[in-house]
Structure 1
Amino acid sequence: MRYYLNTQTDPAFNLAAEEYLLKSTNEDCCMLWRNHNTIVVGRNQNTLSQINPEFVQKHDIKVVRRITGGGAVYHDLGNINFTFIKVGEQTKKIDFSAYTRPILEYLNQVSVPARLDGRNDLTVDGLKISGNAQHIHKDRVLHHGTLLFDVNLEMLATVLLVNPEKYRDKAVQSIRSRVTNIRKYLLDHPTVEQFMEDLGRYMQKAYQAVLTRFSDDDLKQINDLAQKRYRQWDWNFGDSPAYDFSRSIRTPGGTIDIRMKVKEGTIQRIRIFGDFFGIDPVSDMEKRLTGCRHDHQSIKKILNAVDIERYIKDVTVDQLLHCMF
């Protein structure tokens, strides 16, 4: 087995590194890594229904889709991610216990009474410290998970807070679990870097893994994949399942009620209802927005190109945008 030392904190790079290793490595490997403030959504999820978009934009939080299923998770530099890739595994079954076992053994060794709870969570005293997911590619298995070491739990709760009444879809919804940090259970209170280094040494010893760094060619291919997939709106947002969206707000110009059908991240149909006043028919604005991406910048560009007052009196572009997310 190889143990990859990965000091990158760019989520697009890190998720690309996992996929690259899954499809190109010729031997088992493992990797520890961290992301700067990021929401990572599951492969089968509707991205917008999992996040608080205004908060995400305000705090410059990255949003990236992974290739594994499961729910949306928040990463910051207080979270450690672990990856195992098994080559030549002839299976079509998802098995979390086999891959979480070494992590549990390490945590128990440092006096953290963790256990596998439910289908894919590691918990301490009933509180979640780790979520896990898997992806099977041909005869290879990718297993990865989080370790909430010293995560900003207030940020975690806020950034994933979404009104479920806005979205109606068949995508997998994240389960909001009670969570806690590992660091509070450690007597010597190490830093996240110290804990990560110690866990890395344990994994190398447990698997007799060879410490490995990405070659220049590896880095080129990983960065190419990151640019092609994980930095693209089409993958992170547009690849969401079809969904219906609705939201109603009060404005100085009256009530605005927006209903949309969105497919592949694009507005297929939109209706704008309300008790507002306007000179021109609002259906003209609806036509302009049909075919537009359901994302802030694309919609704002269209709205800025028209005189909103002619359609909806006493309503600003920002207020109308607020009603569309």
Structure 2
Amino acid sequence: LDLPTLADVAAGVCESVALGLSQFGIPARWRPRNDIEVDGRKISGTGGFFSGDVLFYQATILVDMNPARMLQALNVPAAKLAKRALDDAGARITSLSALLGAATPSIGAVHEALLGGLERRLGIVPEWGTPTALEEDLARRLHDEEIGTDDFVAEIDSPPDAAGHAARHGAGGTIEAWVRREGVADDRIREVLITGDFFVTPPRTVLDLEAALRGAPIAEIRERVEAFFAAAQVGVLSAGAADFAEVIEEAAGAAVPA
């Protein structure tokens, strides 16, 4: 596939999914960065990353839903709704059942439509198979030694209470940062936590950036962030080094709760 960047992947996959969904008679369209919409309402969200020469990309298709229950579970931040001038996140979402009623396709038919869209748009032809014994063994080991451990699950903790906080909401997504300071003059970063609604690859980039900033002088935040991005070969779809530097600088200078 001639999709060298994550932005190219997002465009290709989203256009393929929209093409597949259109066979049900709905005007599905890709909305950059990574959504698929029907008449301005989201029906699919996507995301992915590169790990070496491997691409992992995933998406959801809303076939049916209960908006109230979904929003209660997601706890959508008020800032994210305000960014889109919405009082109710349900006004931003739709589903195949809401659009098609009794003609809603089966899950199997949805699968076939998506595969057809990928084949027509990107030339991807699926090859069905079953996991090999080697793959099953590797999956078990990864679960037992890494992703199934409590340490992995708790790797990203809640923001510390005694931390300055800042958030930036823009076309590239939302970036939030919490910074705890240390030092005799309170002029160094003790730790930083970065979260948000943005695309970055490889997956550990944010954790590595947080680690790189521990102990850094507050005055050198921008310099350190830009040097990290330049050296780490980071692939960013929605935000750049300057965006991260700005929100971390703001959090570092914010008042800390008493």
Which protein shows a greater Rg? Answer: 1
Q: TM-score range by the shorter chain?
A: 0.3 to 0.5
Structure with the bigger percentage of strand: 1
Between structures 1 and 2, the one with greater helix share: 2
